[in-house]
């Protein structure tokens, strides 16, 4: 009896070992290192020097602009994604003809097969001097600058992360019991009341999943602000690259990274709560 129990536990441990080891080496250890770095000091020649100080955290306001940009553009970007994604997911799940559904879904996912870097470069051209502004110049609208603006970054964000928002919303709408919609209509609710009273409420888990997914990825976004925002729209991701690779101020970079992780955790926690509260279901699928 005891021996077999021990054996089954051993087996479980063995099966979990590779994943556990992987997470430990590549997630837990680096994170501990980052925490240790964040209370240290910058060595004179760059890098890390052991110390125990909160000076790096006290210095966070020096990068307030990056935090500010991220904390404003990430939620706005996620929200813009949500607004664009919801009608698409709604159409796919509830209106699209059954036989077209898979093809349409594939069309949404296929761009993912190309590197985001290439697709963002394409946007650089489209928004750059020889792209849309050049076309508009023919129409008499001169001197319109699109590239290197917050608007361009937002556009890139929506473009890049849209599928990540569409898919979870699609899943939650697809799973929606159609008879609930009929029941709502039967009880006298107009289509609009049914949408807000039933459909919207029951797709909240999908929306919060999509929102937190996009939001968390945006908090660490580096590529899109660099290419489409020029030097002007600095995200935390850009600040981190700058601190670790250029100015080699590891402790300060670490402090920023730790703060970023904390913010992400708070975002996830709130999203989880909101979703559980309003959809009423205990099951909340987060990522």
Partner 1 sequence: MTTAPIPDIEFRGVAKRYGAVTAVSGINLTVPPAAFVALLGPSGCGKTTCLRMIGGFEQPSEGQVLIRGNDMAGTPPYRRPVNMVFQQYALFPHLDVENNVSYGLRQQRPRLSAREISLKAGEALAMVQLAGYGRRKIHELSGGQQQRVALARALVNKPAVLLLDEPLAALDKKLRTDMQIELQNLQRELGITFVLVTHDQEEALSMSDFVCVMNRGSIVQVGEPSEIYHEPADLFVADFVGKTNLLTGKVTGSSGASVDVRLADGSMISARSRGNLVAGQDISVSLRPEALRLEAPGDGALKGIVRNRIFLGSTAEYAIEVPALGTLMATSSHQAALGGLFEPGEPVAIGFADGAPLAFPADTKNGQKQRETKDVEIVS
Q: Does 197 bind partner 1 (CB under 8 A)?
A: yes
Q: Does 248 bind partner 1 (CB under 8 A)?
A: no
Q: Does 186 bind partner 1 (CB under 8 A)?
A: yes
Which is closer to partner 1, CB of 130 or CB of 178? Answer: 178
Of 89-97, 109-117, 135-143, 187-195, the window that binds partner 1 (rule: CB under 8 A) is 187-195
Q: Does 189 bind partner 1 (CB under 8 A)?
A: yes
Q: Does 94 bind partner 1 (CB under 8 A)?
A: no
Q: How far is the CB of 175 from partner 1 (least distance, A)?
A: 11
Give the interface size with partner 1 as a residue count (CB under 8 A): 22
Q: What is the three-state SS of the chain?
A: CHHHHHHHHHHHHHHHHHHHHHHHHHHHHHHHHHHHHHCCEECCCCEEECCCCCHHHHCHHHHHHHHHHHHHHHHHHHHHHHHHHHHHHHHHHHHCCHHHHHHHHHHHHHHHHCCHHHHHHHHHHHHCCCCHHHHHHHCCCCCCCCCCCHHHHHHHHHHHHHHHHHHHHHHHHHCCCHHHHHHHHHCCCCHHHHHHHHHHHHCHHHHHHHHHHHHHHHHCCCHHHHHHCCCCCCCHHHHHHHHHHHCCEHHHHHHHHHHHHHHHHHHHHHHHHHHHHHHCCCCCCCC
Which one of 35, 278, 284, 285 is in contact with partner 1 (CB under 8 A)?
Answer: 278
Which is closer to partner 1, CB of 130 or CB of 282? Answer: 282
Of 76-84, 93-101, 130-138, 273-281, the window that binds partner 1 (rule: CB under 8 A) is 273-281
Stretch 122-161: interaction string toward partner 1, x if CB under 8 A: ----------------------------------------
Q: Between residue 163 and residue 182, which ones bind partner 1 under the rule CB under 8 A? A: 177, 179-180, 182
Which is closer to partner 1, CB of 14 or CB of 192? Answer: 192
Q: Does 188 bind partner 1 (CB under 8 A)?
A: yes
Dihedral, CA of residue 35, residue 41, residue 43 and residue 48, to nearest 10: -10
Q: Which residues bind partner 1 (CB under 8 A)?
A: 177, 179-180, 182-190, 193, 197-198, 201-202, 278-282
């Amino acid at each position: 009896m005891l021996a077999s129990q021990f054996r089954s536990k051993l087996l479980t441990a063995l099966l979990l070992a590779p994943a556990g080891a992987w997470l430990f080496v590549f997630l837990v250890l680096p994170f501990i290192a980052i925490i240790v770095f964040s209370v240290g000091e910058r060595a004179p020649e760059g890098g890390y020097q052991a110390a125990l100080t909160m000076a790096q955290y006290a210095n966070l306001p020096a990068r307030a602009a990056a935090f500010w940009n991220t904390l404003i553009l990430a939620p706005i970007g996620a929200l813009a994604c949500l607004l664009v994604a919801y009608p698409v997911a709604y159409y796919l799940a509830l209106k699209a003809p059954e036989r077209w559904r898979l093809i349409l879904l594939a069309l949404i996912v296929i761009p993912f097969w190309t590197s985001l870097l290439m697709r963002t470069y394409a946007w650089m051209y489209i928004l750059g001097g020889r792209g849309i502004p050049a076309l508009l110049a023919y129409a008499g609208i001169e001197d319109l600058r699109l590239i290197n603006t917050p608007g361009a970054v937002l556009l890139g964000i929506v473009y890049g992360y849209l599928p990540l928002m569409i898919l979870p919303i699609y899943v939650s709408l697809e799973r929606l019991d159609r008879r609930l919609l009929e029941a709502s209509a039967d009880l006298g609710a107009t289509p609009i009341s049914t949408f807000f009273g039933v459909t919207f409420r029951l797709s909240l888990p999908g929306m919060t999943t999509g929102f937190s997914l996009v939001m968390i990825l945006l908090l660490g976004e580096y590529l899109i602000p660099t290419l489409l925002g020029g030097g002007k729209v600095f995200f935390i991701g850009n600040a981190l690259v700058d601190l670790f690779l250029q100015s080699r101020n590891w402790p300060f970079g670490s402090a920023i990274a730790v703060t970023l992780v904390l913010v992400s955790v708070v975002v996830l926690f709130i999203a989880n709560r909101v979703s559980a509260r309003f959809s009423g279901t205990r099951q909340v699928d987060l990522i």
